[in-house]
Amino acid sequence: MISSAWKNRLERQADLRRALGRDRAIQPAAGLDFCSNDYLGLRRDPRLAAAAAEAAREQGAGAGAARLLRGDCSLHGALEAALAQWKGTEACLLFNTGYQANATLIPALLAPGDAVFSDALNHASLVDGCRMARAAGAHLGIYPHLDLAHLGEALRTWRASAPQEALALVATDAIFSMDGDAADLPTLVDLCEAEGALLLVDEAHSTGLLGGDGAGLAQAQGVAGRIPLVMGTLGKALGSFGAFVCCPDSLRDHLLNTARGFIFSTALPPPVLGAALEGIRLARCEPWRRDRALGHASLLRSALGQAPCPSAIVPVPVGEDGRAVALALALQAQGFDVRAVRPPTVPAGSARLRITTGAHLEAAQVTSLLRALANLGLLPGGRT
The residue ranges of every structural domain in the chain are 46-284, 287-382
pLDDT at 364 over 80: yes
Q: For residues 189 and 265, give the distance between their C-alpha atoms in angstroms, rounded to a whole number.
A: 32
Distance of CA 95 to the CA centre of its chain: 14
Lowest mean pLDDT among 21-35, 62-76, 78-92: 21-35
Taken in order 190, 121, 130, 140, the sign of the CA dihedral is positive
Q: For residues 68 and 98, give the distance between their C-alpha atoms in angstroms, rounded to a whole number.
A: 20
Which helix (H) or strand (E) segment holds residue 231: the answer is: strand 229-233
Q: For residues 37 and 235, give the distance between their C-alpha atoms in angstroms, rounded to a whole number.
A: 8
On the question of a common fold for 46-284 and 287-382, the answer reads no
pLDDT at 383 over 80: no
Distance of CA 226 to the CA centre of its chain: 20
Taken in order 167, 231, 297, 350, the sign of the CA dihedral is negative
Please, which pLDDT band fits residue 384 given cuts at 50, 70 and 90? very low
Which overall architecture, per CATH, does domain 287-382 show? Alpha-Beta Complex (3.90)
pLDDT in tens, 342-351: 999 999 999 9
Q: For residues 329 and 336, give the distance between their C-alpha atoms in angstroms, rounded to a whole number.
A: 9
pLDDT at 382 over 80: no
Rounded to two decimals, what is the model's pTM?
0.96
Task: Characterize 73-97 residue by residue with b for buried, 16 or more Cβ atoms within 10 angstroms of its Cβ, and e for exposed.
Answer: bebbeebbebbbebbbbebbbbbbb
Please give the CATH number for the structural domain made up of 46-284: 3.40.640.10
DSSP structure string for 321-353? HHHHHHHHHHHHHTTEE-EEE-TTSS-TT-EEE
